Amino acid sequence: MIALLLVVLIVSCEDEKYVSSNEVQLSFSADTVMFDTIFTAFGSTTQHLKVYNPYDQKLLISSVRLAKGDVSNFRLNVNGIAANEVFDLEIPPKDSIYIFVEVTVDPTGNNLPMVVQDSIEFSTNASFQDVDLVAWGQDFHLIKDARLKTTTWTADKPYLVYNYAYVDSGEVLTIDAGARIYFHSKAGLYVRGRIKAMGEFGQPIVFQGDRLEDVYKDVPDQWNGLLLFSGSHDNIFNYTEIKNANIGLQVGNIEDEGYASVELSNTKIYNHAYAGIFSLKSKIKAYNCLVANCGFYAAALLVGGDYDFYHTTIANYWGGFSSSSRSTASLVLSNLLIIDQASGGSVSYVGDMENANFSNSIIAGNIRTKNELELGISDEAVFNYSFTNCLMQLSDTFDISDPDYFTGIIRGADPKFKDPYEKMNFELDTLSPAKDAGLKMIGQQFPFDLLNKSRMGDAGPDLGAYERIEKASK
């Protein structure tokens, strides 16, 4: 019995030993903890670092600390302890701990992004190791609960919208080429006056959410979107990107009299939770535009209106390769809208569809029914529409025999986009049936595509927003 007890004590003492080598080396999940661009004075999201003990014995880390200590922009939580320096941290054999890192960047008044650096230092026995911390900070213009007078937003540094920015009647918001507009959660831009987003090729204006980490780049519903109230006229979006909202661009509203009007050129509206364009009794002229990958509709044009779309790609591949997540068409045209009431019953709104013209365009997607066009027609109002030289994903049972409505249609063909799913690349592949299929008279009105490529250099203009130019054979 005494011998057995002695053996147990010896084993227990051995179990308590730590790795004693002066050349001990921790393992880390990364050699640098990187933060995407952070707006100054606003705290970052949390990044993490995993610290591994690769040995068969326990490891005692003498200290974990920020090199710059309490003056650092970074903050640590080490294995549940919120402190910038922690002592005598034990890691069991073949186990690990987490260190969580946050950062806040101080405003500097500098328009250019600034780099903020520090490191986490680890002291174990006589061994010293460190992991770099790197963040980019960006000063910005804060727009919070703002009713805007006539003003210009420039490209000097980003704009961050909290809650709302509101352009009142009679006021004009001009946005310069290259400007970046970020919206916090649930924020939006609401226009009763006029907006002129004057982007240029190579210097687009971007509207998106304020989460800049790479993991959020394709996450929809990060902000509310843009709303042009009925009565807001002559709005312009040129070389503009609107992405990752609930509704990208709403044109018009039911509650106000009249209509809204907008011209969209060289503009991309994509990855919205509900719809890319949601228009009510309004006027839109669009050319060289992409409207794509939204939860319900790429474009819904309701309660009538007046619409001209030229060389536009309207494509919905929401949900990836499987189309089971969407039962609504890419494009909906209707001269009515029925709204269910919470108290029961419904309210109907009807308006004349004076014109809905689509020329040299693509209507495509991955819906199960194979019909990416839905028509909602009320006999109580006018319904004028036409599709001319368009590639349209429609089933064989969809009637396109009436030349008053459909001429030169390529029905049901795969447009062969380069990658409409993961990369949202809607340029045409070399075997696309949309190549050279457009009317030249339309192409001549819009001789350059969304990427500023000429449509006039081959047999005919391609359908949609992008022109495919083949390399000359050697």
Q: What is the DSSP string of 340-408?
A: E-TTSSEEEEE--EEEEEEES-EEEE--TTS--EEEE--TTS-B--EEES-EE---TTS----TTTEES
Contacts of 445 (CB under 8 A, 6+ apart): 287, 310
Evaluate whether residue 458 is within a structural domain: no
- Give the end of a domain, one of 137, 153, 173: 137
CB 169 within 8 A of CB 231: yes
Same domain, 108 and 194: no
Q: Tell me what pLDDT residue 12 has.
A: 42
Contacts of 425 (CB under 8 A, 6+ apart): 417, 418, 419
β-strands 59-66, 85-91 pairing: antiparallel
Q: How many residues does the chain have?
A: 474
Same domain, 34 and 101: yes
CB 357 within 8 A of CB 308: yes
> What tokens were used for 212?
């800049």
CB 292 within 8 A of CB 426: yes
Contacts of 111 (CB under 8 A, 6+ apart): 139, 156, 157
Helix, strand, coil in percent for the chain, rounding step 5: 5, 50, 45
Q: Tell me what pLDDT residue 368 has.
A: 86
Tell me how far apart the alpha carbons of residues 425 and 417 are, in angstroms, rounded to a whole number.
7
Same domain, 362 and 440: yes
Same domain, 95 and 160: no
Q: What is the pLDDT along the chain (474 residues), one digit of tens a residue?
A: 434 333 333 344 444 589 989 899 999 999 999 988 888 877 777 899 999 999 999 999 999 999 999 999 999 999 999 999 999 999 999 999 999 999 988 877 677 678 889 999 999 998 999 999 998 888 899 999 999 999 999 999 999 999 999 999 999 999 999 999 999 999 999 999 999 999 999 999 999 999 888 888 999 999 999 999 999 999 999 999 999 999 999 999 999 999 999 999 999 999 999 999 999 999 999 999 999 999 999 999 999 999 999 999 999 999 765 455 678 999 999 999 999 888 888 999 999 999 999 999 999 999 988 999 999 999 999 999 999 999 999 999 999 999 999 999 999 999 999 999 989 999 999 999 999 999 999 999 999 999 999 999 888 999 999 999 988 655
Evaluate whether residue 464 is within a structural domain: no
Same domain, 308 and 403: yes
Evaluate whether residue 287 is within a structural domain: yes
CB 89 within 8 A of CB 61: yes
Domain range enclosing 116: 18-137
Tell me how far apart the alpha carbons of residues 140 and 143 are, in angstroms, rounded to a whole number.
9
Three-class DSSP category at 451:
coil
Evaluate whether residue 80 is within a structural domain: yes
Same domain, 231 and 359: yes
Evaluate whether residue 452 is within a structural domain: no
- Give the end of a domain, one of 118, 137, 156: 137
Q: Output the DSSP codes for 37-102.
A: EEETTSPPPPEEEEEE--SSSBEEEEEEEETTGGGSSEEEEETTEE-SEEEEEEE-TT-EEEEEEE
Same domain, 130 and 144: no
Same domain, 296 and 381: yes
Evaluate whether residue 319 is within a structural domain: yes
Q: Tell me what pLDDT residue 11 has.
A: 40
Tell me how far apart the alpha carbons of residues 277 and 150 are, in angstroms, rounded to a whole number.
25
Evaluate whether residue 5 is within a structural domain: no
Q: Tell me what pLDDT residue 16 has.
A: 58
Among residues 403, 458, 460, 413, the alpha carbon closest in space to that of 436 is found at 460
Same domain, 269 and 407: yes
Same domain, 87 and 162: no
- Give the end of a domain, one of 137, 153, 171: 137
Same domain, 106 and 253: no
Q: What is the dihedral of CA 440, 384, 465, 330, to 10 degrees?
A: -150
Tell me how far apart the alpha carbons of residues 285 and 279 are, in angstroms, rounded to a whole number.
12
Same domain, 240 and 100: no
> What tokens were used for 375?
């028509």
Evaluate whether residue 467 is within a structural domain: no
| Number of structural domains the chain divides into | 2
